[in-house]
Amino acid sequence: MTVYIITHEHTDHNWGVNSLRNKYPQSKMVCSEVCNKTVKKTNRVYFLFYYDEPDYRYEIAPADIVVREQVENIQWGDTDIQFVLTPGHSKGGMCFSIENMLFTGDTIMPYKPFFNGRDSNPDDWTASIAKIESLFSDDIVIYPGHGNVLTLGEWRMNEEF
């Protein structure tokens, strides 16, 4: 069975979900509770880059698995996945780890964090970073939603943060 995880509700991180659901109808979508409530909002900003249809819209059905706890573990087959709610870049931000890999969406990227002013909050982001640093060691490998792979230790050594 296929599972896909949405790290947050921004369009550039979820607009392919409907294609996945169509191709893999038995698949399961996972996201945070806040993301699940807000991801259904349609958006067209990114589509102007990909489609020549200015009125293109999409809507995503509700998640099959909703993460509600600050830190929640889910067993998927033989794999243990740890989910960590990380608001800041967006209200519904969530990171997840599998073994020594941490998938951070836009919570941690190899450059300065971005706050759009609509659904982001730098204070929440700072608290989320502190949570990540308390849960994971510096050698965990980060797979950000944008940019190159790096370790948590490499990211922490960057003076920008």
pLDDT tens, per residue, the chain with 161 residues: 688 899 999 888 887 888 888 899 999 999 999 999 988 765 555 566 666 666 767 788 899 999 999 999 998 889 999 999 999 999 999 999 999 999 999 999 998 888 888 889 999 999 999 999 999 999 999 999 999 999 999 999 986 65
* Model pTM score: 0.90
Tell me, what's the pLDDT at 19? 84
Tell me, what's the pLDDT at 143? 98
Architecture of domain 3-157: 4-Layer Sandwich (3.60)
Tell me, what's the pLDDT at 66? 96
How is residue 54 written in tokens?
């200015």
Are the C-beta atoms of residues 141 and 155 closer than 8 Å to each other? no
Tell me, what's the pLDDT at 119? 87
Extract the runs of DSSP E, i.e. beta strands, from the chain. Answer: 3-5, 28-32, 65-67, 71-76, 79-85, 94-98, 101-105, 141-144, 150-151
Tell me, what's the pLDDT at 2? 80
CA-wise closest residue to 87 among 11, 10, 5, 157:
10
- Percent helix, strand and coil across the chain, each rounded to 5? 25, 25, 50
55, amino acid identity: D
Domain ranges of the chain: 3-157
Rounded to 5 degrees, φ, ψ at 89 are -60, -35
Round to whole Å and give the CA distance between 5 and 25.
Answer: 15
Tell me, what's the pLDDT at 99? 95
How is residue 5 written in tokens?
């995880």
